[in-house]
């Protein structure tokens, strides 16, 4: 049995491949094939493995889970240009993966950068989104507001400018595996961090992941409200995301909304508290009538 708290053993899920044009994505697709689907979008600098403990719980409740390694993280989906990592392309990937796997509508879940993509999918493609559960990052317009107006969030977001400078972080981390490891351990266990560290050890993978930051633009302020049933999970010990943006999130949701504050949990919510994450996803999914 998988136990992402660090106890027990972990058996990797088999991966399927999805081709979208010239890009090939690796996707962990598990659970009953005909069951309601939950799309799980990881953040930086992780992979689909961040959802391992959550997936086990969702599958046990009869849901199908679809957890891709997103653009830049799948070796076969790593275009070279920064412009290839803009939000519209990331959103098109998520919707395209659903298309390729025969899923008309899904409960969409995202953490960190995956949450940003999930917000955009829910707002721009509500017809494909049964519900939204966002972890860590609030509605992009709320986050953008906090970065402009809240001194605490400005301090927390100072790292973004470093990440946006092409090649600089890669040079800093070259030959220093412990530098990136310190981002995860603690609070994550060595077992939880291992797949992410293995992926980011390759300079091409790290550059592709950082290209998400380098392709940032101002589309956040233009994103409308989420009209689908929405849950937002924010953790009090998140070093990157402050309270101001978290509390402002509800101003950008017109559908049913639930805000969940996780006390004592850091940024790495899916690995640190998979039971709560799964419970909230399931509660949100259960609140939506199934076709």
Residue 2 pLDDT greater than 70, yes or no: no
> DSSP character for 48?
G
pLDDT computed for residue 218 by the predictor? 74
**All structural domains of the chain with their residue ranges:** 15-286
pLDDT computed for residue 287 by the predictor? 95
Looking at 42-51, 192-201, 269-278, which range is the least confident one?
192-201
What residues are labeled active site?
Answer: 112, 213, 267
The CA distance from 195 to 179, in Å, is 16
The CA distance from 235 to 217, in Å, is 26
pLDDT computed for residue 164 by the predictor? 95
Closest CA to 143 of 284, 281, 251: 251
The CA distance from 243 to 234, in Å, is 8
111 three-state secondary structure: strand
pLDDT computed for residue 8 by the predictor? 38
Give 54-89 pLDDT, tens digit per residue: 999 999 999 999 999 999 999 999 999 999 999 999
Q: Is 15-286 a domain of CATH 3.40.50.1820?
A: yes
Q: What is the mean pLDDT of residues 257-272?
A: 98
Compare 255 and 202 and report the one with higher pLDDT: 255
Compare 179 and 185 and report the one with higher pLDDT: 185
The CA distance from 253 to 284, in Å, is 14
pLDDT computed for residue 98 by the predictor? 98
Mean pLDDT of the chain: 93
The CA distance from 72 to 57, in Å, is 27
pTM for the whole structure? 0.94
Give 119-154 pLDDT, tens digit per residue: 999 999 999 999 999 999 999 999 999 999 999 999
What pLDDT band is residue 174 in, cutting at 50, 70 and 90? confident
pLDDT computed for residue 290 by the predictor? 79
Joined tokens for residue 26: 């690796």
Residue 11: how many CA atoms within 13 Å on its side-chain side? 5
What pLDDT band is residue 9 in, cutting at 50, 70 and 90? very low
């Amino acid at each position: 049995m998988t136990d992402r708290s660090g106890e027990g053993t972990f058996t990797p899920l088999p991966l399927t491949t999805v081709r979208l044009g010239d890009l090939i994505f690796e996707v962990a697709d598990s659970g009953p094939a005909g069951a309601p689907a939950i799309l799980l979008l990881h953040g930086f600098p992780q992979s689909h493995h961040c959802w391992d403990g959550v997936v086990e719980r969702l599958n046990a409740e009869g849901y199908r889970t679809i957890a891709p390694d997103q653009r830049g993280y799948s070796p076969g989906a790593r275009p070279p240009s920064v412009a290839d990592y803009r939000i519209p392309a990331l959103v098109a990937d998520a919707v395209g993966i659903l298309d390729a796997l025969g899923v008309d509508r899904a409960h969409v879940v995202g953490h960190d950068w995956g949450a940003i993509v999930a917000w955009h999918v829910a707002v721009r493609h509500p017809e494909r989104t049964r519900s939204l559960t966002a972890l860590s990052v609030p509605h992009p317009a709320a986050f953008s507001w906090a970065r402009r107006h809240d001194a605490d969030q400005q301090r927390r977001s100072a790292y973004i400018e470093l990440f946006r400078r092409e090649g600089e972080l890669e040079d800093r981390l070259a030959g220093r595996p412990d530098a990136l490891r310190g981002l995860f351990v603690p609070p994550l266990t060595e077992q939880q961090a291992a797949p992410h560290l293995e992926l980011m050890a390759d300079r091409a993978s790290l550059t592709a992941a950082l290209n998400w930051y380098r392709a940032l633009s101002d589309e956040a302020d233009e994103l409308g409200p989420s009209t689908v049933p929405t849950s937002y999970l924010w953790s009090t010990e998140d070093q990157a995301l402050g309270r101001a943006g978290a509390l402002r999130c509800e101003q950008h949701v017109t559908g049913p909304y639930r805000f969940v504050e996780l006390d004592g949990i850091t940024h790495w919510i899916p690995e640190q508290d998979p039971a709560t994450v799964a419970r909230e996803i399931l509660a949100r999914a259960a609140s939506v009538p199934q076709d």
